[in-house]
Structure 1
Amino acid sequence: MQLLRTRSDLLAWRRAQRGPVHFVPTMGALHAGHLSLIRRAAEPRGGGRPVVLVSVYVNPLQFGPQEDFQRYPRDLDADAGLAGGGGAQALFAPAVAEIQPGGEDALTRIQPPAALLRSLCAPGRPGHFEGVATVVVRLLALVRPQRLLLGEKDWQQLVILRRVLADLGLATVVEGCPTVREADGLACSSRNSYLTSGERRQAAVLPAALRAIRASLTREPGADQPSARLDDPATRLRQELEGAGAVVEYAQLVAAHSLAPLTHPRGLCVLAAAIRCGPSRLIDHTFLMSRSPIVAIDGPAGAGKSTVTRALARRLGLLYLDTGAMYRAVTWWVRHQGVDPADAAAVGRCLEGLDLQLVVDRVGEPRVRINGHEVSEAIRGPQVTAQVSQVAAHGCVREALTAQQRSMGQRGGLVAEGRDIGTAVFPDAELKVFLTATVAERARRRASDLEQRGFPVPPLAELEAQIAERDHLDSTREVAPLVQAADAEELVTDGMTIEAVIQALVDLFRQRVPEEAWPDPGPA
């Protein structure tokens, strides 16, 4: 592993890199939490193995006048050994003069949004997050990484840096990683080394209290959903901490992304506290969710929604709700009954006593049954494809299937795709994506799919015309037209592999749902 001490060293090293660079900024005194970030950064993405750079820089800008800048633990040799053992190829350990050569007065500073500085650590540490953001942005300008790996333990810092990078238009993906804990439950921290054995026992009450409150809010025996019966969890947290003799700086419940204070758990929120034990100031938190997360993926026909949605659901440990298959199944049933798909009244009669089931077979593949017929393959044929938009446009069909989908989504924990999932079915989904591709790209994909299934393949120009016409019908119909939700992320997939699309969706999901709240299920 290379040790880089100057900006010139770093820039020369960076110019020599040909693959993606993943960056883990630290203040040194590396521990198991840092090691988890380095190992995550070293994981292959999209078939390629990244180069990992770790920085060690004790940033004076983020320490207050009475804080521990001078005594903060420093051991570069030990840090280099841990970083190299975790998979880093280089360690950047600059002196203060390398990062702020003109001194503090000559340094351009980054000011985070005031709305993110009104809760948690910010009021008690004025200037801290300005100092963090200023140095991280400067490091990013030097390193130019594809990914920035940060711990979810410092949740406010993670939220602020994501916002700062987005506002500055920086393309670096910010990846949060779950908190790593020591045997007694304490979140790994360089400042844990300050604690005496007695202080450590006192500090351990913080994670224990958070776990207990989350358990009381989350699930009762046999329940599938959070009970949310505790009116003011922050007050209870403070009482438990003070009852154990801890000096409480704050105990707050805030919305996870706006950091706005809450009095009751609502949506995804964070219950957090800072306490003082001896010379150490320790922070910790837990996430609370009112239900399991929902991902809604909208987009035009032929954009690859079904393929990536199914894979994304497996990747995140969520259920796959194939709404397109539901509409295709109804279309198949209408054709099977010999009904004119344009006759709304006749189609409505076909829905009487409808028995539509989405199930998973023994090997984990989704199957579709309608009124006793197994139609998983039949609904993908060109005849159904040609008429599904017409059938789906009928209000009676939309009403029946939308009600069924909403019922399936009450518990959350699913990924759904369609053409109005984020606007009509799940408007409160944690993540909404408008997945699309150009007409030419979708025609090419459709031709390939037909060929693989053994169906005749029309000329590309004919397929393009069919797709363009279907886009027009879907976007102009009176009932639930195809539109992009105002808060949806657009993802244009031209030129992207399926793996790249899935990774982009995972990145978007993790910006909204941290791993601590919904853990990665790991490899199947």
Structure 2
Amino acid sequence: MQLLRTRRDLLAWRRDQARPVHFVPTMGALHAGHQALIRRAAQPRGAGVPAVLVSAYVNPLQFGPREDFQRYPRNLAADLELAAAVGAQALFAPDVHEIQPAGAEGLTRIRPPASLLSSLCAPRRPGHFEGVATVVVRLLTLVRPRRLLLGEKDWQQLVILRRVLADLGLAVAVEGCATVRESDGLACSSRNRYLNPGERRQAAVLPASLQAVRESLSRPLEGPSGAAVDPATRLRQALEQAGAVVEYAELVAAHSLAPLSRPRGLCVLAAAIRCGSSRLTDHTVLMSRPPIVAIDGPAGAGKSTVTRALAERLGLLYLDTGAMYRAVTWWVQRQGVDPADAAAVDNCLQGLELRLGIGAAGDTTVQINGHEVSAAIRSPQVTVQVSLVAAHGCVRKALTAQQQAMGARGGLVAEGRDIGTAVFPDAELKVFLTATVAERARRRAHDLEQRGFVVPPLAELEAQIAERDRLDSTRAVAPLLQADDAEELVTDGMTIAAVVQALVDLFRQRVPEEAWPDPSPD
């Protein structure tokens, strides 16, 4: 464990790192919440074991004139011990002049978008988030980490920093980690140590009230006028009835932070209260249903493989829509029907019983009218005609209705060619997963060889894939298109593990751990 006090120390340490650096910025006074971040930072993310750097810098730019900068707890020896105990390799604890060599007035400032500063803490702490963003960007330019670990406890800060770093084009993955709580439910915070026993009991009403309001949302509540009481009002009433001094209680959209009058989609119910000299904040995340991930993209991009792995990683169900279309194509061929004849194909759908299951190895199993067809639907004969069959409106209508019925309860990952645009347009995350034609041809050749099929020349496979792309993107019904709000992920040169990690990172940008915890072990 190294203690770095100057920029020179930091840059020398950084030059010595041959492995990726994961960074946890703090203001010191480390606690269990910080330790959880450091433990997470120490986990490999597909590029070997990282070097973990923690900073302990009490940032004067984020304190207001009547706030607690001077008395903010500082204990460097304890911070070193706590950070080392959970896997940090170094702690950067600079003086103010190391971060602001020309003083506060000589430092280039980062001003977050005004749209993210109109709710929650920002109106009550003018300049706070500008100070946070300015120093975090300064630290990132010095550290140059692969990954930045931040707590979801400070949700507005996390949203703002993600936006600022994206707007500045800084190549760092931002990972949010769920709030860590103490035995009485209070979110871990360096300022908790200010509280005397009576204030501590008073502070505990904040998480308790949030939980109570969350649980009450399934029960309508009316005010004196008979109008429904919105969650923010319920929360304020619960806090005030418990004797808390409420600074704010608000319901906002999770990512835009725009105020809401009622829960809609993914949203955050948050509050700040005063306990003695301390100001404490907390929140809970509300979701109308478990999340849906929609992964679209052309044939041969590896959607099935990574979608299955992503579903397992996130504890979501895997909806193999490609297997559904392949199964119908197999059935059409089995009936001796011309795949181009829409009317004949429609007749084949009458009485068709299609069932998906999970095999012993975790793979998708498919049955049609009692026939096990899991292997047969992967044959080249099916592959070459599946786009033709899938283009018929009757097929897409029947299978889209079945898929939407499966997704009504949420909690799934689905892949296909119009999942985000047609089947699940309200998915929390939409990804357009793709690769070059040459890369997809190479993967297809490898897959055919592994399955024992004859492998055509690569040029022939490339021509087939290019033609299939053309058919998929120009068909009249639900053409292959990238949704306007989808993230494009080009997978050339990426391992499966790297693609899955990239998808997890995208998922976590939209769905916090509090709303959908990661079932994978720390």
User: Is the 2:28–2:75 Cα contact (8 Å) retained in structure 1?
Assistant: yes
C-alpha distance in structure 2 between counterparts of 1:417 and 1:230, whole Å: 39
Match of 2:62 in 1: 62
- The letter of the residue matching 1:258 is S
Residue 363 of structure 1: how far off its partner (Å): 5.0
- The letter of the residue matching 1:152 is E
Match of 1:44 in 2: 44
C-alpha distance in structure 1 between counterparts of 2:165 and 2:324, whole Å: 40
Which segments of 5 or more consecutive residues in structure 2 lack a partner in the other structure? 221-226
Residue 437 of structure 2 corresponds to residue 443 of structure 1: no
- The letter of the residue matching 1:476 is T
Matches of residues 17-416 of structure 1 in structure 2 within 5 Å?
A: 17-46=17-46, 48-217=48-217, 231-362=229-360, 364-416=362-414
C-alpha distance in structure 1 between counterparts of 2:83 and 2:228, whole Å: 43
C-alpha distance in structure 2 between counterparts of 1:271 and 1:415, whole Å: 27
| 1:500 alignment partner, one of 489, 494, 498 | 498
Residue 523 of structure 1: how far off its partner (Å): 4.5
C-alpha distance in structure 1 between counterparts of 2:219 and 2:411, whole Å: 15
C-alpha distance in structure 2 between counterparts of 1:494 and 1:231, whole Å: 52
User: Is the 1:296–1:422 Cα contact (8 Å) retained in structure 2?
Assistant: yes
User: Is the 1:10–1:92 Cα contact (8 Å) retained in structure 2?
Assistant: yes
- The letter of the residue matching 1:249 is E
Match of 1:9 in 2: 9
Match of 1:223 in 2: none
Residue 217 of structure 1: how far off its partner (Å): 2.7
C-alpha distance in structure 1 between counterparts of 2:419 and 2:382, whole Å: 21
Which segments of 5 or more consecutive residues in structure 1 lack a partner in the other structure? 221-228
- The letter of the residue matching 1:205 is V
- The letter of the residue matching 1:233 is P
C-alpha distance in structure 1 between counterparts of 2:228 and 2:366, whole Å: 41
Q: What do the CA deviations read for 1:357-396 (whole angstroms, capped 9, x no partner)?
A: 1122455432111111111111001000010000000111
26-35 or 8-17, larger mean C-alpha shift: 8-17
Residue 216 of structure 1: how far off its partner (Å): 2.4
C-alpha distance in structure 2 between counterparts of 1:156 and 1:451, whole Å: 51
Tell me the SS of whatever aligns to 2:248.
strand
C-alpha distance in structure 1 between counterparts of 2:218 and 2:309, whole Å: 28
C-alpha distance in structure 2 between counterparts of 1:508 and 1:323, whole Å: 21
User: Is the 2:150–2:174 Cα contact (8 Å) retained in structure 1?
Assistant: yes
Match of 2:224 in 1: none
Match of 1:470 in 2: 468
Residues 363 and 448 of structure 1: is their aligned pair in 2 closer, same or farther, counting only changes over 3 Å?
Answer: closer
Q: What do the CA deviations read for 1:166-204 (whole angstroms, capped 9, x no partner)?
A: 000011011000000000000000000011111111110
Tell me the SS of whatever aligns to 1:285.
strand
Residue 219 of structure 1: how far off its partner (Å): 9.7
User: Is the 1:231–1:264 Cα contact (8 Å) retained in structure 2?
Assistant: no
- The letter of the residue matching 2:391 is A
Residue 45 of structure 1: how far off its partner (Å): 1.4
- The letter of the residue matching 1:34 is H
Tell me the SS of whatever aligns to 1:174.
strand
Q: What do the CA deviations read for 1:27-53 (whole angstroms, capped 9, x no partner)?
A: 000000000000000001115100000
Tell me the SS of whatever aligns to 1:54.
strand
Tell me the SS of whatever aligns to 1:276.
strand
CA RMSD of aligned residues (A): 1.3
Residues 517 and 346 of structure 1: is their aligned pair in 2 closer, same or farther, counting only changes over 3 Å?
Answer: same
Tell me the SS of whatever aligns to 2:508.
helix
Q: What do the CA deviations read for 1:433-463 (whole angstroms, capped 9, x no partner)?
A: 0000000100000000000000000111110
Q: What do the CA deviations read for 1:222-261 (whole angstroms, capped 9, x no partner)?
A: xxxxxxx975011010001011111000000000000000
- The letter of the residue matching 2:10 is L
Residue 522 of structure 1: how far off its partner (Å): 1.8
Tell me the SS of whatever aligns to 2:387.
helix
Residues 143 and 230 of structure 1: is their aligned pair in 2 closer, same or farther, counting only changes over 3 Å?
Answer: farther
Identity among equivalent positions (%) equals 82
- The letter of the residue matching 2:241 is G
Tell me the SS of whatever aligns to 1:429.
coil
C-alpha distance in structure 2 between counterparts of 1:219 and 1:298, whole Å: 38
Q: TM-score, normalised by structure 2?
A: 0.97
Q: TM-score, normalised by structure 1?
A: 0.97
C-alpha distance in structure 2 between counterparts of 1:197 and 1:110, whole Å: 39
Tell me the SS of whatever aligns to 1:287.
strand
Match of 2:223 in 1: none
11-20 or 132-141, larger mean C-alpha shift: 11-20
C-alpha distance in structure 2 between counterparts of 1:413 and 1:215, whole Å: 20
Match of 1:426 in 2: 424
User: Is the 2:20–2:47 Cα contact (8 Å) retained in structure 1?
Assistant: no
C-alpha distance in structure 2 between counterparts of 1:219 and 1:425, whole Å: 31
